[in-house]
Amino acid sequence: EAGVAQSPRYKIIEKRQSVAFWCNPISGHATLYWYQQILGQGPKLLIQFQNNGVVDDSQLPKDRFSAERLKGVDSTLKIQPAKLEDSAVYLCASSLFGVREQFFGPGTRLTVL
Amino acid sequence: AQSVTQLDSHVSVSEGTPVLLRCNYSSSYSPSLFWYVQHPNKGLQLLLKYTSAATLVKGINGFEAEFKKSETSFHLTKPSAHMSDAAEYFCVVSSNAGGTSYGKLTFGQGTILTVHP
């Protein structure tokens, strides 16, 4: 069974630029999550999708972050414009509907200069 | 509301000696608890999970954890450390509340395990 795929693995940008991350969850997983992991901290949930609907985006900085999950499969997370404090690893995870165990992708490490 | 406290940010052991990583949790509902491991530049991997069945949970690679409700703890142990165990470990609590909180994971700050030869 293929795992959660993410791209790119690494990204370096200047502050005020835009960036987008892509996630392909495990086939059949209805629930998809985006987390932000700042160095030295545990992952923090940014947004949760159930199929293509948003379940929880209470921690998403909506003035600069956006996410979508078209057709209930792949998802894209965008930051526009980026700030220095957005430097972090962005993790995507997926799970079967109603199941707590989440499977994580390798993450995208973002550096904002 | 739920939260997790990992009591040690760094733990250092010698190869072949026991490992103890400590975790305390807080949850308004009967929780599910997990331990995840993260090797450098790798994704998070589930080590084990507690979901209200047996209080002593066995996981992969010889790890186990014991759920102690009276102490609100879920410490991770391994009898004998191996060099390959060096990584960062996260204790995680999941809400069993209904609605949009169901299944939401809250991570601890992480414990970095170093294993010396």
Name the band, by pLDDT with cuts 50, 70 and 90, for residue A9.
very high
- Measured CA to CA, the distance from residue A57 to residue B58 in angstroms comes to 34
B48-79 pLDDT, tens digit each: 999 877 889 999 999 999 999 999 999 999 99
- List all residues 6 or more positions away from A60 whose beta carbon is below 8 Å from its beta carbon: A46, A47, A67
A56 → closest Cβ in B34, B94, B104? B104
Name the band, by pLDDT with cuts 50, 70 and 90, for residue A1.
low
Contact criterion met (CB below 8 Å) for A99 and A30: no
Name the band, by pLDDT with cuts 50, 70 and 90, for residue B111.
very high
Residues from chain A contacting residue B51 (CB–CB below 8 Å) = 100
Check CB contact under 8 Å for A104 and B94. Answer: no
- List all residues 6 or more positions away from A80 whose beta carbon is below 8 Å from its beta carbon: A18, A19, A64, A66
Contact criterion met (CB below 8 Å) for B2 and B60: no
Question: For residue A109, what are the β-bridge partners?
Answer: A10, A89
- Measured CA to CA, the distance from residue B66 to residue B74 in angstroms comes to 6
Q: Which residue of A has its CA nearest to B95?
A: A100
Distances (CA, A) of A88 to A40, A43, A62, B85, B90: 10, 10, 17, 24, 17
**Is A32's pLDDT higher than 60?**
yes
**Which residue is associated with the tokens 């997990």?**
B34
Task: Report helix, strand or coil for B60.
Answer: helix
**Which residue is associated with the tokens 């939401």?**
B104
pLDDT for the residue B74: 96
**Is B97's pLDDT higher than 70?**
no
- Measured CA to CA, the distance from residue B68 to residue B74 in angstroms comes to 6
With an 8 Å Cβ cutoff, the interface of chain A facing chain B consists of 3-4, 31, 33, 40-45, 48, 55-56, 91, 93, 95, 98-107
Contact criterion met (CB below 8 Å) for B59 and B48: yes
